[in-house]
Homo-oligomer: A and B are copies of this chain.
Amino acid sequence: MLSFEQELSGYDIKKWADWSLKLFYWSPSFSQIYSELKRLEKHGYVTSRTVMQDDVRGKRVYAITDTGREAVRNWSRTAPVEAPVLKHGVLLRVWLGHLTEPERLHEIVAEHRDNSERRRAEAAVDADAAHGETAWAYPELALKWAERYHAAERDLAEQMLRDLDELAASGRATEPVPLPPDSPSLAPRLPGVPSTE
């Protein structure tokens, strides 16, 4: 984020991340940002200085160095293209549909659809705000992508609701599923079991 050449404090970075980056990437906690900035400074990727706002209160702002610019540039150009990390709790619960009453499952997916529409609208507003300024050309593209992504997510949820209704109507729905075929044929991925440690 510092590669945009603005001096930023840890607090700034968190606000910025929450505001726009979260639409296609997660937002780290304050504590991680503060410790990561220190680590980056230790490695010479950023420098910091204290800015006094009035006489007494100061804040620490960070700026990228040539080394840091080189490193992130190199990363962005040469890192392998990996699959996006997705952990879709709602889909996991559909996959485990045999555990839940069909009406409740419907509710869960409907809520996800509504949330997706909200996120789409958010992205649209942000993309609009980015429009025009040349400096924000790429962020604008990313935000437009996010707008379409969340629209797709919303539509996919809508389609799932139809599929769920159809399954319920067909009567093949609720039974606590018996044995899976002996081949290792049908497998999804483990969530974090709510740790009642």
A positions within 8 Å CB-CB of B: 1, 3-6, 12-13, 15-28, 33, 36, 40, 43, 45, 71-73, 75-77, 79, 81-101, 104, 108, 111-112, 115, 119, 126, 129-130, 133-139, 141-142, 144-146, 148-149, 152-153, 156, 159-160, 163-164, 167, 172-173, 175-181, 184-191, 193-194, 196
Contact = CB atoms under 8 A, between A and B. Distances in A.
Assembly stoichiometry (copies): 2
Nearest to A107: B81
Contacts of A91: 24-25, 84, 142, 145-146
A90 B156 CA distance: 22
Contacts of A119: 83
Ranked nearest first, the 4 interchain pairs of A and B with the lowest CB-CB distance are A16-B187, A21-B188, A21-B189, A97-B138
Chain A interface mostly: helix
A5 B194 contact: no
Given A17-B188, A26-B86, 18 more contacts: A3-B96, A5-B179, A16-B188, A21-B92, A24-B88, A28-B189, A33-B190, A40-B193, A76-B99, A77-B100, A79-B89, A85-B85, A96-B138, A97-B138, A97-B141, A134-B172, A136-B180, A139-B188
Nearest to A19: B187
The residue in A136, A180, A189 that gathers the most chain B C-beta atoms within 10 A of its C-beta is A189
Contact of A43 (B152, B172, B191, B196): B196
A177 to B, nearest CB: 4
Given A95-B139, A137-B167, A15 B184 contact: yes
Contacts of A71: 193-194, 196
Nearest to A82: B89
